Structure formats: structure tokens, C-alpha cells
Chains A and B, each alone.
Chain A
Amino acid sequence: MPGPERVGAAGRALTAVALLVFVAGAPAQPAPALAAACVACHGAGGNSQQPLVPSLAGQPRLFIENQLVLVREGLREIPQMKGLLDGQADADLVALARYFAAQPPVRAAAGARDAAAYRRGEALSATMHCGSCHLPDYAGREQIPRLAGQHEAFLLQAMKQLRDHPGPGRDTIMAASLYGLKDADLADLAHFLAHFGASAS
């Protein structure tokens, strides 16, 4: 893959786009065979092109591993993934997690930034201490997912599910954290997180 092109002062938007592509650190390991089934929806290298499908690239390894186990066990129900991981050994799930965690994340196409919604989401995140666990750059760690640059529609859907359907396979801490928030609050949070770290222009 070619590196980011140098552009003139007039090309600020292009620069912003190019900066979002982390071209360094190309994957050193081959993809596990099972990964082919994943990228059909989650996109090449785990960078999703579909608004309601999360990107896996650059997620913490343990986060992916835990979610794969919960999906396999039927604890986290994702209709599109039903049966997909049946019978997969722990070692295969660990290999998948390691592979996608090592892929460079490419920011999802986020659309234009709404400055007011971004500011509301930013303020809400500060008072709710989202960065305490997800870290101040929202890159996630260990069992806690990366939020920065994830698809906005997916973030909103995931937060609604955590708020409204806390059940097996759902983190009780996240359910408690989002309890009582309005849909509009979640939309602001999703907008902020999807655009976090991107150029404001």
C-alpha cells in the first residue's frame, strides 16, 4: 500500500483522510483460515464498510477474544453470527482475536461533524468518565473496546442494547453506566466517539 500523498494547503480534507489510514505496521502474521468468514461482513483486515457492523481492526485482543467466546456460547446473541462459531476451539478464537487486534485500524467513514452534537457528546463522556476504562483516547484496553473512529450507527445501536437489554453476555457495568440515558444522549455520545481524533473540518 502506498504511503499518504503529500498535498498542498488546499487539500486539508485529503490530508485528514490520509492521516486516518495507519499504514505503518503491516500485518506480520497470515490470516487464520476462519478470518475469511469474518471479513465478509467486518471488511478487509477487519475494517468494516457497513455502518451497523463494527470494525475489529485494532481492537484490544482480549476484547475480541471475550466477545468471540460469548458469541460462540450463545450468551451474546447476534442474529447474523448465529451458528457461525459453533464448535470452534478456544485456540481458534484466540488466533482470530490476535489477528484482528494486530490489523491497523482505518477510521470508518463518519460523515460531516456536527459541532454542537460533538460538544454535547464530549461533555457527556467527561461527566460519565467513559475515558476511565476506555482510556482518554478511547483506544480501549484489555477487555474494554476501542470506541474512537468506530461506526457511529453501530456505536448508537450497541449502547442502546447495553442500556435496554442487560442480560447474559452483557457487561453489568456498562448496563449500569448507561441506565436512564436518553436516546438523544446516546446519539451525541456516538457522534462524538465516531469523530474523536478526526480533523474538525
Chain B
Amino acid sequence: MIKHIGLAFVVVAALAAGCAQTKPTVSAAAAPVSGNAPAWQQGRGTDMSGSSLAPLAGKLTVTPAADIPLHQLKLPPGFKAEVWSTGTPGARAMARSPSGKIYVGTRGIGRVYEITDHGASRTSRVVVDKLNQPAAAFHDGSLYVFAIDKVLRYDGIDRNPGVQPVDLTAKFNLPPEQHHNWKYVRFGPDGKLYVPFGAPCNICIPGEPYAQIRRYNADGSGMEVIARGVRNTQGFDWHPVTKELWFSDHGRDWMGDDTPEDELNRLSRTGQHFGFPYCHANGVADRDIRKSDACDGVTLPVKTMGGHAAVMGVHFYTGSMFPAEYRNTLFVARKGSWNRTKKNGYDVVMVRSDANGSNAQVTPFATGFMNEQDQSFWGRPVYFLQLPDGSLLLSDEQNGAIYRITYAGT
């Protein structure tokens, strides 16, 4: 099986090279370690060989509310954050049923949670576990659970907690590689299910099934690749006015602290190419996988979002609780860096721009998760969910907690 995958990579890479006008060159540092394999240290040059930077530890156990120093969070005047829900280790992206149940995906712990709001308090249960890094979406009365290698649909689960899932896996033709293929999934305004398939490496020629965003009909039929050259998007939303897809994308590692930066992108036309692996950020040619005119035909980002900052969930605010200037502003959660000598991110920022993405300005919204002085951090903000009253839920993967951000005026 694994040998076949390796062969498929060779073939796809050869085809890709054959189609290009000039054959790309691949540096020794980006060459596979052994066999034609994706590997996390691809692209790590001799300049970085002594580095001990490594992905930071997640936490899989419950963090009680009393252990969360939320008072250290800094928000603009008039805003307040409270611990809304705890006890859901690894909590990431959230989806809401019309009846108000919140469904939450995870990575390492393999669970999808259901959170029930009782007004003054919240309770949670595990809907399904033992999955491979599952995400959740809610559409037309059904919960969709999307893992790396499995797709399940739970019809009417918010009213019928014991409902058995329908297994849709075979319909979605999921590729086998896992790295960067953990999911963020959403139903778009067109009723289609949007699913990213990341590059299974730090830097490599990824092959056809990867480094792309697809959309499907809800039953898995009608697959279309809508964006290519996308290394690792972990969040997207649709502009409230233009209905265009905006998405985050993580830049590659081991090229330095500040380059290439993460991206905020806008899809204005189906089939656009966003540059991976040849062209990163705002037109940075790759060091290891080179071809002439690397950025030709590449759609550059609306805004670069900082080196290794790990841009996650993005959310256009459409509520009426926050002041008018927040309307249609994009909130961006930056989980925070590991492949950088000094930490970056660990915050929520706002991006204000014209509807077509021009004149984008980034300003801080929520800071204080990380201490610049001693480089410690206590939380890692990841995803948003806007409640009907206009308050904003923010999940913290490190603490398995959800915070509620409200505005009460100054």
C-alpha cells in the first residue's frame, strides 16, 4: 500500500514537471529523506540543522475554569470575555444547530463534542470518539463529522441524541496521506461542503490530491477543486456582501523567522492558484523548489499575517452587539508559532479592508495569551462562532475551553 502511494507521488510529480514549461528544481534539503516521501523536515537547510524548534505540546486533559487566567486577556474598551464552557479537551472549530446545540471538533483526542447551553451554565457530551482528527459542520438538520479518513452524517441529532450515523466515507474519495490533512469543513452559502486537503509535507511537490480546496454536494457527489496551491488552510468564511470565500493559509517552515509569512486569501474565481510550493506569501519564491517566474499566475494574498503565526479560524462579524465599525470586519485567530525563535501570534486580530480585499489593515483585538518577556503562553485561540445575540464564541485548543466575548459599551 505504502509503496503504491510512493509510486503515485513519483508519477504525479513527473506529470506536473512535464506540464510546466521549465522543469522545477528541488534542492537537497527539500528532497525526500528516503523514498519519495513527505517529511516534516523537508526544506530544513544546514543553517537550521542545530535548531531545537519543535511543534508545541497540545493538552488532552480537562482544564478547570479556575485554572484559566482569562483576566490576562486584553480586549478593546467595552468588550468583555468570560469562560463560557470548559471540559472539552482539544476543542477547535464549532458549528451550531438551529436549536442551539454547539458541535466541536478536535485533533489528537479524536472526539466530537456536543455542548448544550442551559442559560446559566453549559454541559457537554462526546458524540463520537476514536476518530482521526475530526471536524464538525451542521447543515439542513444534520451533523456532519469529517475526519481524515471518515465522513459521518447524524440526522436530527440535536433532537435525537442517540441517532446512528450514516457513513458517507466512500462518496468522498479521501486521499491517504495524513499530515496537514486534518480538517476544517463548512457548508457555504451555496449549500456545498467545502473541504481542504493540505500539502502532506513542509515543502514538496504535493501531487494532485493535495494542496487544494474542494467543494462537494452534501452527499459527497459533484466534487470540484476550487483552489490550488494552498499549503494548509485551517479556516475560511464567506464575505457577507460579495459571498466570496476568504481563507487562512499557513506558510512553510525552516526558511527563517519572518519569511514566508502566513496568508489571508480571497478566492474571486474558481480554480485560482495560490502559489504552493513555488511562491509563498506576498511573492516569495521558494528556496528549495524552484522554477522560473515562480509567482506567475499566482493569486497573492489579501494580507500577509505574520511569520509562523498559525492563522486558524476567520470570521466576518455580522451581528449587531458590537459597535457598527465591527460590521463585516474579519476576525482572525492566530494560534501561535513554533518554528520561530521568538513567539508570534497567540492572539486574535481584526482585518479591515474593502470588500474586494484592497486596503487591508490588521489591528489587534485579543492579546495576552502569550507573555513576550518570558515567552510563556497559557492559551491558543483557534476558532469563532457568532451567536444569535451577536456575541462571539472563541475556542482555546490548549485549555479545551470556549470563551464568550460580549460588548456592553464604554
Contact = CB atoms under 8 A, between A and B. Distances in A.
A179 B39 contact: yes
A120 to B, nearest CB: 14
B35 A144 contact: no
B34 A168 contact: no
Interface stretch (A26-34, A44-52, A130-138): A130-138
Contact of A75 (B38, B41, B130): B130
Given A129-B49, A172-B178, A69 B61 contact: yes
A185 B110 CA distance: 31
Given A135-B52, A167-B132, A181-B34, A66 B60 contact: yes
Contacts of B41: 128-129, 132, 177
Contact of A180 (B6, B54, B57, B200): B6
B108 A66 contact: yes
Contact of A133 (B54, B89, B110, B178): B54
B40 interface: yes
A135 B63 CA distance: 28
Interface size class of B (residues with CB under 8 A): 35 or more
Given A132-B52, A144-B54, A180 B179 contact: no
B132 to A, nearest CB: 4
Contacts of A172: 178-179
A184 to B, nearest CB: 12
A176 B200 contact: yes
Contacts of A182: 34
A102 B89 CA distance: 24
Interface size class of A (residues with CB under 8 A): 35 or more
A136 B62 CA distance: 32
A183 interface: no
Given A128-B33, A142-B57, A168-B131, A73 B40 contact: no
A173 B37 contact: no
A185 B35 CA distance: 13
Contacts of A75: 109-110, 130
Interface of A: 62, 65-66, 69-70, 73-75, 90-91, 93-94, 127-129, 131-133, 135-136, 141-144, 164, 166-169, 172-173, 175-177, 179-182, 185
17 contacts: A62-B57, A65-B60, A74-B129, A74-B130, A75-B110, A132-B52, A132-B54, A133-B55, A164-B2, A168-B132, A175-B179, A176-B38, A176-B39, A177-B33, A180-B36, A180-B37, A185-B34
